[in-house]
Amino acid sequence: MYLILAGLIMLFSWMVSNRLKNKFEKYSKVQLQNGMSGAEIAEKMLADHGIRDVRVISTPGRLTDHYNPADKTVNLSEAVYNQKNAAAAAVAAHECGHAVQHATAYSWLEMRSKLVPVVSVASNYVQWILIAGILMMRTFPSLLLVGIVIFAATTLFSVITLPVEYDASKRALAWLENKNMLTRDEHAGAKDSLTWAARTYVVAAIGSIATLLYYVSVYMNRR
């Protein structure tokens, strides 16, 4: 049953990721009438929210966009940073949405930030601990339980990420609309892009919860 569920989650994840890729390719062709690049969109959104201590910088790669609360930087992939289309505007505004969350002490973001050090360490070792825990179930059953507790922290991180990402998109779209940054068609494209981006986090959270429940069932059954 777990293998079937895992297969379905993997399939759904691939479908959502592929759909997201197609959406961004589609809306990357919708050029903004205001002629602003992703970097310019980001800088204006930060300025409109009175945020002066956050830098907008370009980062190598594709879909590498993120906000770093440690050094207060909005990192935009090269395409988003330079291009002037609906997809770039959506991503740039979304990442600035995280900066606004940080500036306003958004509770869910603060909770996620506190888990980052734990998850960073746990992600490197948790799979090995879980595998070893299953293999040593008879001689050292507590090892699997330790792995489950650690994996639960990564699952909690995935779940907390959902309101953080959805709220950042909500803030981005509200600002784009209130400031009349985009035309109706451009705004629809930006909203569609962010909707599909958010769904990737939903799939990740579901997959993490399913995996956690699997290991819990293994521990309970083998006891």
| Residue where the block lists tokens 């799939």 | 203
Q: What is the pTM of this model?
A: 0.89
Q: What is the mean pLDDT of residues 94-122?
A: 94
Which residues are identified as catalytic? 95
* Rounded distance between C-alpha atoms, residue 29 and residue 23, angstroms: 10
Structural domain containing residue 143: 2-222
CB 132 within 8 A of CB 141: no
CA distances from residue 40 to 7, 93, 163, 175, 193 in whole angstroms, order as listed: 42, 10, 26, 14, 19
DSSP E strand stretches across 80-184: none
The per-residue pLDDT for range 150-172, each reduced to its tens digit, is: 999 999 999 999 999 999 999 99
Domain count, the chain: 1
